[in-house]
Amino acid sequence: MKFKQQMNEKVQNVERVLRVYMPTESSFQKTVVEAMNYTMSAGGKRIRPVFMQSVYELFGGCEEYIEPFMAAIEMIHTYSLIHDDLPALDNDDYRRGRKTAHIMYGEAMAILAGDSLLNYAFETASKAFLMVAEPICTEDNRVRDEDKITLLSEELKIRRNLERAMAVLSKKPGIYGMIGGQVADVELTGSILTKEQLYYIYENKTGALIEASMMIGAILADASGEDLDKIEKAASNIGMAFQIQDDILDETATFEELGKPIRSDEKNEKVTYVTIHGIEEAKTEVERLSNEACSLFETIDGDSTFLKDLILYLIHRKN
């Protein structure tokens, strides 16, 4: 199957999952839910849930309890975009070719929509615990002792992995992850950044959610500790490459391609990898980081063809 067809099917599956888990617009909270759904329905590459599902499948995962986590990671990502676009931060009017939440619903409602998506993400992820299979009974409604032991052991393992996945989902977007990167980005805007500072911002502001996505997929599929370390390292490289490619596109793409204002980093006085190293060296670094990530996948048992193709797609994307 061609990569584009596979990617399209995976994205469509993500859209299906999001439709299942997004709230309905009713009662006195209707406006904030409408703002949540407006932003979530704006599309996008959905790469975080796609990465999560693909890593899960790489390690043999096939259960539906991955789906609440897929929805949750996209909710967290979208909340971060709503807040990132606010006047107090990047002050952007367009995202994915549509007016941003604060332009459509006002600044106060946009803040509340972001807050709501973050909270609802954890409410959604917690639903995975309710999906763990109940013990299967025999025809006379009794469970044989040996079957009960097997079922309880399997359920315990699944619940332990769900708890580990929830811990990753809680930490990576927080002060030791995405928000920590955002804080550094805000405080250092307008400053001359060291390479260490720039990498810290990229590793956390962008990389943390990609790491969370891929690690959760591996954890829920019960990957070994060694393989989980490889996944985290590959995800770190992918996140760094993704952000540097964003820097390149901010300089080279058009508004129609990006669906948002170009040269916004320059407007906001932000130092980027391109600012420091230039576009050609930035392209070389994207290639190096991506190749290293692909090499890590080759050391893991299983068919990682789609994941490696996805990394190559991200290198050459135009938006």
Q: What is the pLDDT of residues 138-175, one digit of tens each?
A: 455 555 555 656 656 788 899 999 999 999 999 999 99
Identity at 219, one-letter amino acid code = I
- Going from the C-alpha of 242 to that of each of 37, 208, 223, 313, the distances in angstroms are 26, 12, 25, 11
Q: What is the pLDDT of residues 263-319, one digit of tens each?
A: 666 565 678 899 888 999 999 999 999 999 999 999 999 999 999 999 999 988 877
Residue 136's pLDDT is 45
Residue 262 has pLDDT above 60, yes or no: no
For the segment 254-259, the average pLDDT, to the nearest whole number, is 60
Distance between CA 3 and CA 298 in Å, rounded? 18
Residue 88 burial (C-beta neighbours within 10 Å; 0-12, 13-18, 19+): exposed
Residues whose CB is less than 8 angstroms from the CB of residue 182 and which lie 6 or more positions away in sequence, other chains included: 80, 84, 89, 204, 205
Q: What is the pLDDT of residues 98-135, one digit of tens each?
A: 999 999 999 999 999 999 999 999 999 999 999 986 54
Are 118 and 38 a contacting pair, CB within 8 Å?
Answer: no
Within 135-224, where are the H helices?
Answer: 145-171, 178-188, 195-201, 207-220
Write down the pTM of the prediction.
0.90
Residue 234 has pLDDT above 90, yes or no: yes
Residue 10 has pLDDT above 90, yes or no: yes
Q: What are phi and psi of 254, to 5 degrees?
A: -100, 165
Closest to 79 (Cα-Cα) out of 31, 116, 32, 134: 116
Residue 93's pLDDT is 93
Given the candidates 3.40.50.150, 3.30.750.24, 3.40.630.20, 1.10.600.10, the CATH classification of the domain at 3-128+157-315 is 1.10.600.10
What is the signed CA dihedral for 114, 118, 121, 122, rounded to 10 degrees?
-160
Q: What is the pLDDT of residues 13-38, one digit of tens each?
A: 999 999 999 999 988 999 999 999 99
Distance between CA 139 and CA 151 in Å, rounded? 17
For the segment 216-232, the average pLDDT, to the nearest whole number, is 97
Domains of the chain, by residue range, sit at: 3-128+157-315
